[in-house]
Structure 1
Amino acid sequence: MSRRHCSSILITSEEGDYLGVVTDSDFRSKVIAQGLPIHHPVSEIMSQTLYGVSAEAPAFEAMMEMLGKNVKHLAVSDNSGKMVGVITNTDMLAAQGHSPFFLLREIKSALTPEEVFNKHGQLPSILRNIISAGAKSQNVNALITTISDAILNRLIQFAIEKLGPPPCPFVFLVLGSEGRMEQTLKTDQDNALIYDETGGSQADTYFIKFGEQVCDWLNSAGYAFCEGGVMAKNPKWCQPLPVWKDYFSTWIRKAEGEALLQASIFFDFRGGYGEQDMVDALRRHMFRSLSGWAGFFRHLTENALFFKPPIGFFRNFVVESRGEHRNTFDIKSAMMPIVDFARVHALHNGIEVTNTQQRLQQLHLKKVLNQQEYQELDQGYSFLMHLRFARQLTAIANEREKPDNYINPKLLSRIEQTTLKEIFKRIEKFQSKLAFDFTGVA
């Protein structure tokens, strides 16, 4: 490694079969730190798992694989599957200049909350580069999620340094679009906090202050306060685990009005920081509570059908006729029928993932969707998300405005307009399917 000036080396058998990889980190942590002799077998310090990419893969795919797997090395294989080399995060940094790797490094190494606050503002230029390179919208969402999670984690670490160690185990939940890993450049906070019931009154006091501090810092970092108050700084959403289980049971039993609104936000939850065991316990409770409550799914479906694709009887776009957003439609609302379709069916089929496209994939694997249905929903959702990102980046770059979700169809190409109309037509079909499956009426 020293002679070749590289940070890793592939280990193979005498026949040339891949056995593992050894990195400079392995030598530091497993040999030098533990005082092992230099004649110690390399097979005992190597890592057997090495994630990889094809030699034909675009650079941003390798980057997303590294970020998603939290690794610094990827094996590169040719068309036959043979490993032909290794690419590192250092290689990616050198190739891309200011990239997500730099941004993540800056976030994780920040010494004060103030150093973190301006990091979210660097996302648009990074996203513009990877979208121009052909990145899929799902990868763009994943990148935003990775950055948002890193910001949240660093700010929580600062809050613990400021307030002292928490009195009991806890988990900071992220909800809604963040819980689904579908954030865009226009986003606000949807979060909550669960802590262990053994903490008592000391935990009640600590975690309210903790939630206030973290949410205030997130707001300063570019994640606006939730207008509906769904945040960990709200005492209602900062509670011990038994209270959260009661919340979910009540929403499922009531299944009307406010309860359905909460379900659409809170049922797309995941852990942002802390004890994953609490997340798993709440999810198990949710699915147990859903069992046998057909009425909940009927009401959740009826609520989901309020969102209609913006297409008229004669296949013309339905746009705002007056006001600030005249001649546009809200693409976020246009995407909601797919999000709702995936959520209702996923909850009904015990699917634990929260991401819309991952839910659709699982529904396909469970034979709830056939191949054509899966492709129509998945590709349609990707196209809508791509247009959404394009609109937000245009607002920032050309109009010097804050990103929004309003699309003027007349500014789209003829192909984009035709594709949109076809997607909206398909959405209407799937809404009829959803209605029939859970209400008996198409």
Structure 2
Amino acid sequence: METKPAGIEGVGDRADAGALWELRLGDLPRREPIGLPVGASVREALQTMHDRGIGSVLLWDDGGGIAGILTRHDVLDRIALAGVDLGAPVASVMSHPVATLQVTDTLFDAALLMSRRRIRHVPVLDGERLVTLVSERDLFGWQRQSIKHLGAAIARGQTLADFQRAAADIRAYARHLMAQGLQARQLTTLISHLNDQLTQALVMRELAAAGLSADAMCWVALGSEGRGEQTLATDQDNALVFASDDPQADRPRWLAFARRVNEALDACGYPLCRGGVMAGNPPCCLTAPEWEARFARWIDAGGPRELLQASVFFDLRAVAGRADWLEALRAFVLARTSTTPRFIRQMVQGHLEHPVALLWHGGIRGRREGRHRWFDLKMQGTALLVEGARILALAHAVPATNTRERLLAAGRASGAPAAEVDGWVTAFDYLQMLRLRHQGAPAADGAAPNRIDLNTLNAVDERVLRASLHAIQTLQERLKLDYLR
């Protein structure tokens, strides 16, 4: 007999696995959160958990807000092994601050937060009012394979074969969720998050083998991984920041380490970048001052071809090591791009060399080949939105790297009407969904994972694709109006 996890009884009877991820936390059955004043003792907290049969207890501050949380998982490390007196204040062993979600967030949001923060319990708020507590068991008890299990498999990994199996499981899990109807935005976020975990594990493994420290470097994701938008078909785009008083002397050692990570990722199914944008190549393995100088050259004196090749570097995001170094570099870059009109103008000019594939009568322009009309969903679709969002973000000093977040934040900063910005975001979400659906199909295992035959689209998809291209056209027109007048 199949048992349902605590907290979502009955939910599985009215939704499949994909729909479950979409459920709002406010729609789940609620349990009354159990808490104690933050001044309570460790003994009182443990006794409360024991008496109530619960896995955690919240601690309230004087105003009734959440001051912290103590879970059963904390008892061994923080109390038993540490020899803490049971009469000590629970505040001395509680976790704080406490990550929370809103009732409008989804099961997927909760699962991702737990995985990212490595936590097992999340309080759910309605505004500022606490309404329930969601546990890891609530989320994952219904599904045999989950983000938790994939993350655990990566954490246990020792050999390259272990990581290869984990990478294959990530792709299989993503295909499963896509088949169940998970939205493109959530799926690409999930894929990128799990790929981050795999990359972190490989980086730490190779650092140990090379006798190097994570405190002396930052592994950087670029391109789609940097934007948190990886699909099922993706290659590597990465870079390295390392600390050194003598870069020329130290670089060979860091390059050797980075190449081993690149090769391990390749063996796990993430192909080497054909353009050479990888940490194991000398131009992508630099100290922080060297990176600042390189970005300054691009921004102050880069030509059209150089800026085209450099574009993915502006989607930088820290994956392992010193994330604070990368935030400092990002601040340097944004301060420069937002005050250098020449740079933004050149970026816009390069972007407009790739107009939207719409015919004068509103039809979609495809490349004819026999009975086929080919359309590249990436190059003729999402890439145009990615580029436009990047330009707006750099012009308005928006720190986000994710395209959706850039469109929303930079769109508002540009003064574009809300309906226009919503159109850009909707177009991006739809095109990503179409890409993922195509890549998840058996026929997509060949060499053209982003190419579709327009003749195979149903009437609804063709109409929405046409509307999405019109939305991209409005973005290009706005860039032209704002920066090329």
User: Normalized against structure 1, the TM-score is what?
Assistant: 0.90
Indicate whether 1:39 and 2:87 are aligned. Answer: yes
Deviates more, 1:345-354 or 1:366-375: 366-375
What is the deviation of 1:431? 0.6
Which deviations, in whole Å up to 9, do the C-alpha atoms of 1:390-432 show, x marking residues without a partner?
A: 111113xx66557711122333332221111111112112211
Deviates more, 1:248-257 or 1:129-138: 129-138
Pair 167,33 (structure 1): closer, same or farther in 2 beyond 3 Å? closer
Deviates more, 1:363-372 or 1:171-180: 363-372
Deviates more, 1:211-220 or 1:65-74: 65-74
Q: Which residue of 2 aligns with 1:304?
A: 351
Q: Structure 2 CA distance, aligned partners of 1:58 and 1:353?
A: 22
Pair 104,372 (structure 1): closer, same or farther in 2 beyond 3 Å? same
Q: Which residue of 2 aligns with 1:389?
A: 436
Indicate whether 1:30 and 2:75 are aligned. Answer: no
Unaligned 5+ runs, structure 1: none
What is the deviation of 1:118? 2.4
1:65 aligned to 79, 101, 113, which one?
Answer: 113
Q: Structure 2 CA distance, aligned partners of 1:231 and 1:128?
A: 27
Unaligned 5+ runs, structure 2: 1-48
Which deviations, in whole Å up to 9, do the C-alpha atoms of 1:96-116 show, x marking residues without a partner?
A: 111121111100111122210
Question: Which letter maps to 1:113?
Answer: L
Deviates more, 1:408-417 or 1:125-134: 125-134
Deviates more, 1:9-18 or 1:101-110: 9-18
Q: Which residue of 2 aligns with 1:120?
A: 167
Pair 50,409 (structure 1): closer, same or farther in 2 beyond 3 Å? farther
Pair 265,19 (structure 1): closer, same or farther in 2 beyond 3 Å? closer
Q: Which residue of 2 aligns with 1:177?
A: 224
| Residues 159 and 210 in structure 1, CA contact (< 8 A), matched pair in contact too | yes
| Residues 396 and 414 in structure 2, CA contact (< 8 A), matched pair in contact too | no
Pair 57,254 (structure 1): closer, same or farther in 2 beyond 3 Å? closer
User: Normalized against structure 2, the TM-score is what?
Assistant: 0.82
2:203 aligned to 156, 160, 166, which one?
Answer: 156
Deviates more, 1:160-169 or 1:100-109: 160-169
| Residues 176 and 266 in structure 1, CA contact (< 8 A), matched pair in contact too | yes
Runs of 4 or more above 6 Å deviation: 13-17
Q: Which residue of 1 aligns with 2:460?
A: 415
CA RMSD of aligned residues (A): 2.7
Q: Which residue of 1 aligns with 2:306?
A: 259
Q: Structure 2 CA distance, aligned partners of 1:385 and 1:343?
A: 17
Q: Structure 2 CA distance, aligned partners of 1:22 and 1:81?
A: 20
| Residues 255 and 295 in structure 1, CA contact (< 8 A), matched pair in contact too | no
**Percent of pairs with identical residues:** 26
Q: Structure 2 CA distance, aligned partners of 1:238 and 1:132?
A: 39
What is the deviation of 1:348? 0.8
What is the deviation of 1:54? 5.7
Q: Which residue of 1 aligns with 2:8?
A: none
What is the deviation of 1:194? 1.5
Q: Which residue of 2 aligns with 1:435?
A: 480
Q: Which residue of 2 aligns with 1:194?
A: 241
| Residues 55 and 78 in structure 1, CA contact (< 8 A), matched pair in contact too | yes
Question: Which letter maps to 2:460?
Answer: I
Q: Which residue of 2 aligns with 1:97?
A: 144
Pair 167,433 (structure 1): closer, same or farther in 2 beyond 3 Å? closer
What is the deviation of 1:332? 0.7
Pair 76,248 (structure 1): closer, same or farther in 2 beyond 3 Å? closer
Pair 167,27 (structure 1): closer, same or farther in 2 beyond 3 Å? closer
Q: Structure 1 CA distance, aligned partners of 2:68 and 2:330?
A: 36
Indicate whether 1:228 and 2:275 are aligned. Answer: yes
What is the deviation of 1:120? 1.9
Which deviations, in whole Å up to 9, do the C-alpha atoms of 1:287-311 show, x marking residues without a partner?
A: 3433542111111101111233332
Which deviations, in whole Å up to 9, do the C-alpha atoms of 1:333-352 show, x marking residues without a partner?
A: 11122111111111011111
**May I ask how many residue pairs the two structures share in their alignment?**
436
What is the deviation of 1:130? 3.1
Q: Structure 1 CA distance, aligned partners of 2:264 and 2:96?
A: 40
Pair 54,132 (structure 1): closer, same or farther in 2 beyond 3 Å? farther
Q: Secondary structure at the match of 1:344?
A: helix
Q: Structure 2 CA distance, aligned partners of 1:255 and 1:13?
A: 54
Q: Which residue of 1 aligns with 2:191?
A: 144
| Residues 256 and 280 in structure 2, CA contact (< 8 A), matched pair in contact too | yes
Q: Which residue of 2 aligns with 1:425?
A: 470
